[in-house]
Amino acid sequence: MLTGSLLINPMYIATHWQASASDPAAHPQTAAQYLRVVRDLSINPYWIGLSEQGADCSVALDWLARHIGPINRELDAILQEGLGCFHAGQRPDIQIFAAPLLPRAGIDGFCNPHVHPLTLMVDPGRVARVDWDKLVIHELAHAVAQSAGHGERFRASLAHLCLAFDLPTPPDHSLDLLQTWPPYATNPHWAKYWHIA
Compute CA distances 32 → 35, 62, 101, whole Å.
5, 10, 15
Domain extents in the chain: 2-193
Q: Which residues contact 56 (CB under 8 A, 6 or more apart)?
A: none
Question: Coil, helix or strand for 111?
Answer: strand
> What CATH superfamily classification does 2-193 receive?
Metalloproteases ("zincins"), catalytic domain (3.30.2010.10)
Q: Note the pLDDT tens digit of each residue in 121-147.
A: 999 999 999 999 999 999 999 999 887
pLDDT of residue 11: 59
Of 120, 118, 126, 119, give the one whose Cα is nearest residue 102: 126
Predicted confidence (pLDDT) at residue 4 exceeds the cutoff of 80: no
Give the H or E element holding residue 73: helix 58-83
> In angstroms, rounded to a whole number, what is the distance separating the alpha carbons of residues 78 and 134?
9
Residue count (the chain): 197
Spatial separation of the C-alpha atoms in residues 4 and 34, rounded to whole Å: 10
Range with the lowest mean pLDDT among 32-36, 56-60, 82-86, 95-99?
Answer: 56-60
Nearest CA among 149, 97, 88 for reference residue 118: 97
The pTM score is 0.89
Report how far Cα 133 is from the mean position of its chain's Cα atoms: 11
**% of the chain at pLDDT higher than 90:** 52
Burial of residue 165, with CB atoms counted within 10 A of its CB: 0-12 exposed, 13-18 middle, 19 or more buried: middle
Find out whether 100 and 49 touch, Cβ atoms under 8 Å.
yes
Q: What is the pLDDT of residue 39?
A: 95
Cα distance between the two ends of the chain: 33
**Residue 35 or 59, more confident:** 35
